[in-house]
Amino acid sequence: MSRPSRALIDVQALRRNYRLARELHGGRALAVLKANAYGHGAVACARALESAADGFAVAFLDEAIQLRHAGIGGPILVLEGCFTRAELVEAHAHHCWVAVHQEEQLSALEQAPSQIQGIHAWLKFDSGMRRAGFPLTQAKALAQRLQSCEAVSRMTLMTHFARADEPESQATTRQIAAFDSATAGISAERSLANSAGLLAWPAARRDWSRPGILLYGADPLPGNPSALSPVMTLESEVFAVRELEEGDALGYGAHYVAATRRRIGLVAIGYADGYPRTVPPGTPVMAGTHRAQIVGRVSMDMLTIDLTDFPSEGVGSKVELWGRNIPVNDVASAVGTIGYELLCHVQRVPRIYDNASATT
């Protein structure tokens, strides 16, 4: 019998989330597929969205080339830009759009070989995140330099928000105002909104948005009642049942000691599959139709849940670790991280897509 752990990917939910993002934004939206589509499978997600998406965005060039080799033909923006001049040539050969956020990248475009033509460059400014991006004080001069490049046929101005997932903070308002003031009068399209910016900051909705985590159904706004549909269901099955007597210790380090007689289910999934080892006791899972709890430590290949109150559940019962019933953000909150990290860490388990028999 094959191991029952798997990540079920609902591509219809992915499409719904993209449509919601695009309708809410009102302009065009680049579907962000970096980090293997946040653990969901970049090629499969690109194929699912290709007929609807205005384009895609990835972190670095190798991710873009993977999509091109898979036959994805739409626009692809490389968010980190090119690390070398040789990469710029490669990006051009694969018809990629490139971000430009530091002097070396701008100089590479200015000195590009004559055969490089028609690049869509995204000029990135630091409006307050203090990470990648040119100073806003140089906006007009840099835009003029980029527009003068023979290699560049089109320019979009962009920035990135540091605290868009904090609706009560005024930091995003200040970033928007600083960006608008510094870029006023520059003839170019704009892109400001990431997922949280798109959802929480209407003033950030411009020509292009860049939805990432929201596409996969994990709301970036804490406690937000969400219309998003979870795309990944991480699940496995109970493969054995053990009876513990009062005082019996369970698992590594005797981390759990039964206070009364307990019935424990062993589930075929662990931290080597991407489920976090550090979840506290009581973290919920769905065992069949019942909301059960994890007990003991998560091991590399398995974890243990308390089935004492659910006699109908046992060997063969499906166990959802996160998905439609257990939000990934709830699990992330329990271990002091974010849903992004948990989704990106899913590995070793097959991904099964609801519109095809193929798995990855």
Packed helices 139-147 and 103-110: angle between N→C axes, nearest 10 degrees:
30
Instruction: Spell out the residues 6+ positions from residue 274 whose beta carbon is closer than 8 angstroms to its own.
Output: 39, 234, 342, 345, 346, 347, 348, 349
Residue 306 backbone phi and psi in degrees, to 5? -90, 115
Q: 239 near 4, Cβ under 8 Å?
A: yes
Active site residue 34: yes
Q: 11 near 19, Cβ under 8 Å?
A: no
Q: How far apart, in whole angstroms, are the C-alpha atoms of residue 180 and residue 109?
A: 25
Residue 343 backbone phi and psi in degrees, to 5? -65, -40
Q: 342 near 217, Cβ under 8 Å?
A: no
Residue 15, exposed/middle/buried by CB under 10 A (0-12, 13-18, 19+)? buried
CA 143, 144, 149, 153: dihedral to nearest 10 degrees? 60
Q: How far apart, in whole angstroms, are the C-alpha atoms of residue 107 and residue 103?
A: 6
Q: How far apart, in whole angstroms, are the C-alpha atoms of residue 95 and residue 68?
A: 9
Active site residue 140: no
Catalytic one among 18, 34, 38, 124? 34
Catalytic one among 124, 140, 252, 353? 252
Q: 286 near 317, Cβ under 8 Å?
A: no
Q: Which residues are catalytic?
A: 34, 252
